[in-house]
A and B are shown apart, each in its own frame.
Chain A
């Protein structure tokens, strides 16, 4: 009963929020202005039942609606979330759930993280927003030294598992140094931030369908989670999103496209770049690539990646973050240990350069489809 009421409301909100919904076609489409990729909508039906066309910020908004509706002991807070958020993810939540449960905080990231830990200590499901992943570093101490270690250091007497941090990340075309970063590798070096069973600390959705499912998984997990949302996808990423609540298993990677010549691994926006690369390779080189969306960074699905690496013998890992000590290094090292005798070529990393993220040079900085394509070609020739 409650659920169906909520569904109606969400459906209504979806129509209201979706700008020019008629324009979206089912197939890949190139959004010309400032994007270095075309979006491939998720075609996998994760749960049976009604779906609706939503972009990623709307899907996140739906997820937050469900979380707040289902659990009266849950709150959403951060800078500017009360009026709907600078990316519209928290729209209308304050009106529906009250100023006690959806509220602005002072402009202070270490405070937001620490405050969230305290809420979670006291049993409140705390969903915090850091306005840009670039500004999560003032909260680094609270997240790495406190949130991640609380269960361990107290012998499980205390924990802050009810904490979820959302932060927009990644390139956006013109974000310069402090509106473009992908800081997942800093956190991937921290045991303790994530969740139980098959759910894990750092997740990066590649579109609307994944954003809602991963968000609901993170909120329910008994360990603290961070979800990095590629901000360039907020409006571009339109999927058929299930109306009902559903979860996406964290810690599990997904084969987005099967192939047998080269394995391409990425996450977030980069998955779409790699899908386009797979098309290019098929067209120009006549072989098929297997494209894997890693989905979660810590702990990551080494089993699935290594299985694919053994099958193809060639692997390209691509991410927007800089190369040195990026998460690609961890993946490459593991593949080297687990698949040594199966490899036909060195594992290659196509990443951002080891420079700060630049403004006007963004087209030269990103690991775009041509750089990825060149790496695939070199790998095949090796």
Chain B
């Protein structure tokens, strides 16, 4: 768990830097929320389907996603599973049962409930875990999902990351009640609030929630209290709406610092091992992004495929039009960085 937490934090630093150098178009860090992600992921199995918002890369990492795949997605190269169509950090993995992320907030919540109902129908010994921020919880889809999950008795864990901010909007402008957890009982959902900077608390809460969901066929809501230490995204400078003091206050209580102190107190960790770990992760990440950067983009025709399972006539016509156009005007398009095969 600790290794994964460190890996995700280093990957964030490096990718953030790559964006600053203009090498990827966008990025969102996970800083401060490593424990929420890794602690909960460790309590789930690969049978459990994940529906995420976008700040849950650690969950995917803990499930076994290779670093190269994260990089391929951010670069949108020819080895990206989603074929370079989405913005960076919109990860997904069929193999790891992690639904592909989409930008519209909260849409994944009622979907997770539907998938959980399917699990119940299929008598599957698994649950669905659905992550979202406290801002997303204001959307109508959150209300829909909580109510459907309760009335239709679905084995789903709603995992809210309450990190204090939705971009610039502090939680006090998001809601007046007692956070997200207070909503749970109103829907008839068993609810718990957890210290999201405590990876072990996250692990145990999620583990019990999973067991409850599967045996009782009922939803659980976990509100994790944490703090978004990084900017909202690479398009955001958070010092415009919050103080540096506030951020540094939370940095001293970061989940990484806390878990490391715990491990050291047990004699399981030391400065030397920390340095070795950081070195090896850095090496691995630099290697992965180097490779990802060198790979060409997918063939332009992938713009037209997968809209439907098979390409309908009208879209095929448009693809042929584009092909003809490119034959005539190829020098005006960045064809050289796109693959020519397939």
Contacts and interface: CB of A to CB of B under 8 A. Distances in A.
Interface string A93-126: 0000000110101101011011111111111101
Interface residues of A, number: 53
A141 B140 CA distance: 11
Interface residues of B, number: 49
B49 interface: yes
B114 A155 contact: no
A101 B117 CA distance: 10
A145 B308 CA distance: 14
Contacts of B141: 110-111, 114, 141-142
Interface string A263-302: 0000000000000000000000000000000000001001
A75 interface: yes
A119 B115 contact: yes
Interface string B217-257: 00000000000000000000000000000000000000000
A155 B115 contact: no
Nearest to A103: B152
Contacts of A122: 49, 114-115, 118-119, 122
Nearest to B298: A155
A146 B312 contact: no
Nearest to A104: B151
Interface in A106-162: 106, 108, 110-111, 113-124, 126, 138, 141-142, 145-146, 149-159, 161
B136 interface: no
Interface string B299-320: 0000000111110111100000
A109 B312 CA distance: 29
A192 B121 contact: no
A242 interface: no
Given A121-B115, A138-B140, A192-B307, A299 B312 contact: yes
Contacts of B128: 118
Contact of B116 (A101, A118, A302): A118
Nearest to A118: B114
B198 to A, nearest CB: 31
Interface stretch (A7-15, A168-176, A193-201): A193-201
Contacts of A100: 121
Interface string B303-339: 0001111101111000000000000000000000000
A14 to B, nearest CB: 29
Most buried by A among B121, B144, B313, B314: B144
Contacts of B313: 299, 303
Contact of A154 (B82, B104, B110, B115): B82
A259 interface: no
Interface of A: 73, 75, 100-101, 103, 105-106, 108, 110-111, 113-124, 126, 138, 141-142, 145-146, 149-159, 161, 191-192, 194-197, 200, 222-223, 251, 299, 302-303
26 contacts: A106-B151, A110-B144, A111-B141, A111-B147, A115-B110, A119-B114, A120-B114, A121-B111, A122-B49, A124-B118, A142-B110, A145-B102, A145-B104, A146-B104, A150-B102, A152-B306, A155-B85, A157-B82, A159-B309, A192-B307, A192-B308, A194-B312, A196-B310, A197-B310, A222-B309, A251-B312
